Structure 1
Amino acid sequence: MSRPVHTEPFPLFRPIHARIDLAALRHNYLRTRELACRSKIWAVIKANAYGHGIMRVAHGLSDLADGFALLDLEDAVRLREAGIRQPILLLEGFFSARDLPEIAARSLSVVVHTLEQIDWLEACELDAAARIPLFLKINTGMNRLGIPPALAATVLARLRAWPHAGPIGLMTHFADADGERGVDAQFARFAPLAAQFDGPVSMANSAALLRFPQTHADWVRPGILLYGASPATAHATASDIGLKPVMRFEARVIAVQRLEPGDRVGYGGMYTAEKSMRVGTVACGYADGYPRHAPSGTPVAVDGHRSRLLGRVSMDMIAVDLSDLPQAGLGSVVELWGEHVSLDEVAQRAGTVNYELVCALALRVPVVEMNRQCVPQASRTD
């Protein structure tokens, strides 16, 4: 199934779309490079590039990125077939020994995080010349993926003895780089290993990259930073960091209702008018990726002017306040997040994280590229 394809002004289509600004993407990459100027950058494009389109983002950064990091072998193969030649790192490694011949053939790098994966490496028969770059992941306290630090020396010896090992790196992942605990405890477990290691080291995700320069090492792994949102909103907003929003999520007003005091809005009547009001019904709901739990008062922008959500988000529609916007009406453009309303604001009001919002963009929402040719893309991952 593919996304709808259209050109502006969209007369035949439901009036909703996401605009992807490739110039903003490139700006954010260069800003990230300023923040970690001594490190190479794995541009993280997992989860369909956080909802922005994996092929679109990879091509948008193809002349800038040092490498790309993702999860799925299928996506990595598509990138190679599309001409992407930078290193590509599979962040969860491989899930079967059967994947290894394709990984070798496509010159991919893999994370190794379990002893079982090492068994698969040692048992796999590959062409004599095949070499696969490896990153050994150390579990320093997140307790999700990784080898215990105490086993690092033994495991590294096995990897170095594997005849198909390419360059070997060392990595870890921080659980609370965006929070009050920070990285100190995990960094203390990892630093002695890194100090004795003679290969490339990678620690910092977006939050660590922003807050803890000591973690930058040889490679950093920014994700949400590239897409123009803050990885640590309690410490710095996207604007504070100097980022630009890459996604602008917009829909239009498709009806206008006039309310009197006591009238209620939407399912469950969750908002009650205290005065005479004008309310716009907007062609966007949770089936499009807008958060269902966003409460009344969540900011929106109508024709560039900030306003607010009213009542409960339904599957295909929301209601917004037009009372102080006499110029607004049928056909007005409503920005759900982007230039006038930050992704971080909406996530905070909805009780979620900015990552979830962009990743949840629905397949049925058309995408329009800005700052290349404004031609909508035909598929979800283009």
Structure 2
Amino acid sequence: MRPLTATIRLDHLRHNYQQARAAHGDKTLAVLKANAYGHGAVRCAQALADIADGFAVACLEEAQELRAAGIANPILLLEGVFEAGELQAVDALDLWMAVASEEQLAMVEAAAPAKPFNIWLMLDSGMHREGFLPQDYQAAWRRLEASGKAGKITKMTHFARADEPDVPMTFSQLEMFDAAMRGLPAGEESVANSAGILCHPRAQRNWGRVGIALYGVTPLPAGVGQDADLRPVMRFASKVFGVRELGIGEPIGYGDNFVTHRPTRVGLVACGYADGYPRRASSGSPVRVDGARSRLIGRVSMDMLTVDLTDLPDAGIGSEVEGQRAPFRPADPAAAHAAAEQRRQQSGGGAGAATG
């Protein structure tokens, strides 16, 4: 059989959740959307069920899978419902749901649930992906309250650039969120995603939502934010099944985008983009061969990739190759702002135009 394995370390998952919750300082949802980021939603939920305050998924189908597996923790539908017919299942499965649009709000108002819904009302504080605009938010909140269909309303928003600590947009979003909530009755709030939990203390409200950090990946540059001691949950490994020696000036793989600059010993590995390894991973991306650091050389193929064995004389056919996360390279904030300003000027918006 092909020697490619993805090992899910559930003890690391539990550790990461506990670290994120401690960093947030209050209740925290473990985000299990997209099959728990490819880690297996049911097994991850079962591993966290005794310690997690609740889970978050994208849609009803994902929640149904967890309930069918016996998961009784609160489950939030981050995208809410897509049509009114789903509300019956939301009611029957005792799910929480986001409401982020006029259409979703109207569905709730027209529903006849057996008990009031637990609703998380989304504010668009600048990401401009979903949510009510600040000038419309309080009216939406009061419509929910007047409908009698909402037993509890949690106020929420989502950050666009919390993983870029030097970019001021997160602070602007927080200010916009707080301003939009003034005058509404006190209630629970949810603002912080993984980057917000680790880097923005002002965002640590009643409910955190830990996504990528749950699986052991910090979204922040090295040395920034809290040291959460995150541990990678997935171990992605394969083996070398072919070795060849190439001289100087020899191309490797599709496109000849890597050419040897010294006599090079190349290992052929049973793993490619069809297996989930990034097709765009560039030469130099880190890997470990029998525990020693090496690098990818040449373009990733569908079911194969090539690694540099030149400095690893003991490595060869059968050597284990483990994927490693590349170092975080933050964007240059000044360059990003300059590019955004140029786009605004080109679109005729002027320097004062709103950005998202």
TM-score w.r.t. structure 1 length? 0.82
Q: Does 1:20 align with 2:8?
A: yes
Equivalence for 1:360: none
Q: Which amino acid aligns with 2:273?
A: Y
Give a deviation string over 1:240-282, Cα, whole Å, max 9, x none. 4311111111111011111122322112222222332221100
Give a deviation string over 1:128-171, Cα, whole Å, max 9, x none. x3221001111111111111122222211211122332211110
Change (3 A) 1:254 1:237: farther
Q: Tell me, in whole angstroms, the C-alpha distance in 1 between the residues paired with 2:61 and 2:297.
A: 42
Equivalence for 1:169: 154
Q: Tell me, in whole angstroms, the C-alpha distance in 2 between the residues paired with 1:74 and 1:181.
A: 37
Equivalence for 1:96: 83
Q: Residue 18 of structure 1 contacts residue 248 of structure 1 at CA under 8 Å; is this kept in 2? A: yes
Q: Paired residues, what number?
A: 327
Q: Does 1:279 align with 2:266?
A: yes
Q: Does 1:30 align with 2:15?
A: no
Q: Which amino acid aligns with 1:177?
A: A
Equivalence for 1:46: 33
Which residues in structure 2 correspond to 1:236-251 (within 5 Å)? 236=224, 240-251=227-238
Equivalence for 2:304: 317
Q: Does 1:112 align with 2:99?
A: yes
RMSD of aligned residue pairs (Cα, Å): 1.8
* SS of residue matched to 2:43: helix
Structure 1 window deviating more from structure 2 (65-74 vs 155-164): it is 155-164
Q: Which amino acid aligns with 2:101?
A: T
Q: Residue 230 of structure 1 contacts residue 344 of structure 1 at CA under 8 Å; is this kept in 2? A: no
- Could you tell me which of 289, 297, 309 is aligned with 1:302? 289
Q: Tell me, in whole angstroms, the C-alpha distance in 2 between the residues paired with 1:275 and 1:183.
A: 47
Q: Tell me, in whole angstroms, the C-alpha distance in 2 between the residues paired with 1:344 and 1:167.
A: 42
Q: Tell me, in whole angstroms, the C-alpha distance in 2 between the residues paired with 1:66 and 1:178.
A: 24
Q: Tell me, in whole angstroms, the C-alpha distance in 1 between the residues paired with 2:290 and 2:214.
A: 27
Equivalence for 1:212: 200
Q: Tell me, in whole angstroms, the C-alpha distance in 1 between the residues paired with 2:258 and 2:117.
A: 58
CA apart distance, 1:344:
4.3
Give a deviation string over 1:323-376, Cα, whole Å, max 9, x none. 111111111100012xxxxx243x759xxxxxxxxxxxxxxxxxxxxxxxxxxx
Q: Tell me, in whole angstroms, the C-alpha distance in 1 between the residues paired with 2:104 and 2:173.
A: 24
Q: Tell me, in whole angstroms, the C-alpha distance in 1 between the residues paired with 2:225 and 2:297.
A: 25
Equivalence for 2:341: none
Q: Which amino acid aligns with 2:213?
A: L
Equivalence for 2:133: 148
Q: Tell me, in whole angstroms, the C-alpha distance in 2 between the residues paired with 1:233 and 1:288.
A: 27
CA apart distance, 1:182:
4.3
Give a deviation string over 1:99-152, Cα, whole Å, max 9, x none. 0011000000010111111111122233xx322100111111111111112222
Q: Tell me, in whole angstroms, the C-alpha distance in 2 between the residues paired with 1:270 and 1:215.
A: 44
Equivalence for 1:75: 62
Q: Residue 309 of structure 1 contacts residue 318 of structure 1 at CA under 8 Å; is this kept in 2? A: yes
Equivalence for 1:261: 248
Give a deviation string over 1:282-305, Cα, whole Å, max 9, x none. 001111111122222111100000
- Larger relative contact order (Cα-Cα within 8 Å, sequence gap ≥ 6): 1
Change (3 A) 1:73 1:168: same
Change (3 A) 1:237 1:245: farther
Gaps of 5+ in 1: 1-12, 338-342, 350-382
Q: Tell me, in whole angstroms, the C-alpha distance in 1 between the residues paired with 2:202 and 2:261.
A: 54
Give a deviation string over 1:11-43, Cα, whole Å, max 9, x none. xx2111111111111111111122112x10011
Q: Residue 118 of structure 2 contacts residue 151 of structure 2 at CA under 8 Å; is this kept in 1? A: yes
Q: Tell me, in whole angstroms, the C-alpha distance in 2 between the residues paired with 1:279 and 1:164.
A: 64
User: Runs of at least 4 residues of structure 1 off by over 4 A?
Assistant: none
Q: Tell me, in whole angstroms, the C-alpha distance in 2 between the residues paired with 1:117 and 1:33.
A: 30
Which residues in structure 2 correspond to 1:182-221 (within 5 Å)? 182-194=169-181, 196-221=184-209
Q: Residue 252 of structure 2 contacts residue 258 of structure 2 at CA under 8 Å; is this kept in 1? A: yes
Q: Tell me, in whole angstroms, the C-alpha distance in 2 between the residues paired with 1:237 and 1:215.
A: 13
Give a deviation string over 1:214-233, Cα, whole Å, max 9, x none. 11110001101111111122
Q: Tell me, in whole angstroms, the C-alpha distance in 2 between the residues paired with 1:309 and 1:277.
A: 13
Q: Tell me, in whole angstroms, the C-alpha distance in 2 between the residues paired with 1:217 and 1:344.
A: 31
Which residues in structure 2 correspond to 1:119-134 (within 5 Å)? 119-126=106-113, 129-134=114-119
Q: Tell me, in whole angstroms, the C-alpha distance in 2 between the residues paired with 1:288 and 1:244.
A: 22
Q: Tell me, in whole angstroms, the C-alpha distance in 2 between the residues paired with 1:194 and 1:86.
A: 28
Q: Tell me, in whole angstroms, the C-alpha distance in 1 between the residues paired with 2:223 and 2:248.
A: 41
Change (3 A) 1:324 1:344: closer
* SS of residue matched to 1:241: coil
Q: Residue 172 of structure 1 contacts residue 202 of structure 1 at CA under 8 Å; is this kept in 2? A: yes
